[in-house]
Amino acid sequence: MKQANLPPQRRAATRRTAGYAQEDHVLDPYQQRGKLHNGTLCPQCGAVYHEGRWRWAPASGGADKSLCAACRRINDNLPAGILKLRGIFGQQQTDEIVRLARHQEDAEKQEHPLNRIIGVEEEEEAIVIKTTDIHLPRRIGAAVRRAFHGRLTEDFDAAGYLVRVTWTVDR
Ligand SMILES: [Zn+2]
């Protein structure tokens, strides 16, 4: 990601120690600020807004339509989470890790419809997974560590509402 494309508040990252602290009190700029009516439908993913949060539910006819925060992040390609998996991967291990990540995403987004993978990019000796939320990178990182050991580090930039999680393979 090119720095120039980021909003100014993203540029000053604050470093914090790795951990699983909750940052839910920190404001996500993509969170819905205005009031939505119960039953509002996201026309892109089909999530339905109900009593303050988005859920997977049947839409009623004639519902209001509004894009959810996850779809807006996907459309803007502006992740809240970036998980970088560093190591030397063959195609087989790459496929295995991507499958594992997708499995974690499926499990996560059943309960939390706005927590999703935006994209998976294969770089030289790394896999980069961008997400719409700050929880999924940790969940996937933890699953990769359970499967392959290695080390996890984490940086949370509160001002930019961006978490960067890095997994490094043991050598
Ligand atoms: Zn949506």
**pLDDT tens for residues 121-134?**
999 889 999 999 99
The β-bridge relationship of strands 81-86 and 162-168 is parallel
Distance (angstroms) between ligand 1 centre and the Cα of 27 equals 19
- Cβ atoms within 10 A of the Cβ of 34, count? 5
Q: How far is the CA of 43 from the centre of ligand 1 (A)?
A: 7
CA of 51 to the centre of ligand 1 (A): 16
- Helix boundaries (H) for the chain: 69-76, 91-111, 136-148
| CA of 74 relative to ligand 1 center, distance in Å | 9
Q: Which range, 10-14, 59-63, 93-97, has the best average confidence (pLDDT)?
A: 93-97
Q: Cβ(85)–Cβ(97) under 8 Å?
A: yes
Q: Which amino acid is at 109?
A: K
pLDDT tier at 88 (50, 70, 90 boundaries)?
confident
Does residue 162 sit in helix, strand or coil?
Answer: strand
Q: Say if residue 88 is exposed, middle or buried (CB neighbours under 10 Å; 0-12, 13-18, 19+).
A: exposed
Percent above pLDDT 70 for the chain: 84
Average pLDDT over residues 14-34: 59
In which band, very low, low, confident or very high, does the pLDDT at 25 lie, cut at 50, 70 and 90? low
- What separation in Å is there between the alpha carbon of 117 and the centre of ligand 1? 13
Q: How far is the CA of 47 from the centre of ligand 1 (A)?
A: 6
Distance from Cα 150 to the centre of ligand 1, integer Å: 34
Q: What is the pTM of this model?
A: 0.82
Phi, psi of 131 (to 5 degrees): -130, 160
Ligand 1 centroid, distance to 105 Cα (angstroms): 15
CA of 118 to the centre of ligand 1 (A): 12
